[in-house]
Amino acid sequence: MNPQPAVKPTMKPIYQCEPHIHQTMQSVKDQLHQLCRHHAKRLVRVETVDGDVFEGHIVHCDRGIVYLRLSNEGSERGFFPGPPPPLHNNFVLPLVLFNLLTISLL
C-alpha cells in the first residue's frame, strides 16, 4: 500500500512586490552593478540610506552586493566605533546595492 503524499497548505503571502516596482528595482540593481564593475579598484565614498559613510576601494561586485576594501579615512562612522582596528585597511565590507544612496569617486 502506497502512503499518500502530504498535502501542503496553501501559503498566502503577506507581501508581494508589484511587478512595476520589481522591474524598477532590477533595473537599478543592474545599473549599479555595471557602475561598480566599471569602477573596480577605484577609491570611492559610499553613503547608505541609513546615513552611514564609508571610504574604500571597490574590490568586487556580484549578485547585488558591492565589496568595499575600507580605507582608514571616513569609515569609523556607524560601523566602527572608536579608533579603527590595527588591520582596518584590509577589512572588506559587503554592502547591498539597494542600501546605497550615493557612490562618489575620490
Residues present in the chain in total: 106
Q: Can you tell me the distance from the alpha carbon of 62 to that of 33, in angstroms, rounded to the nearest whole number?
A: 7
Q: What is the pLDDT of residue 10?
A: 84
Q: What is the pLDDT of residue 91?
A: 86
The phi-psi region of residue 50 (left if phi > 0; otherwise alpha if psi is between -120 and 50; otherwise beta) is alpha
Interacting residues of 44 by C-beta distance below 8 A, sequence separation 6+: 55, 56, 57, 58, 68, 103, 104, 105, 106
Q: Can you tell me the distance from the alpha carbon of 35 to that of 13, in angstroms, rounded to the nearest whole number?
A: 34
Interacting residues of 14 by C-beta distance below 8 A, sequence separation 6+: none
Q: What is the pLDDT of residue 9?
A: 74
Q: What is the pLDDT of residue 11?
A: 86
Q: What predicted TM-score, i.e. pTM, was given to this entire model?
A: 0.69
Q: What is the pLDDT of residue 75?
A: 44
Low-confidence ranges of the chain (pLDDT < 70): 1-5, 7, 72-89
pLDDT tens sequence across 53-72: 999 999 999 888 999 999 86
> Which of 1.10.286.10, 1.10.3720.10, 3.60.110.10, 2.30.30.100 would CATH assign to domain 40-105?
2.30.30.100
Domain extent listing, the chain: 40-105
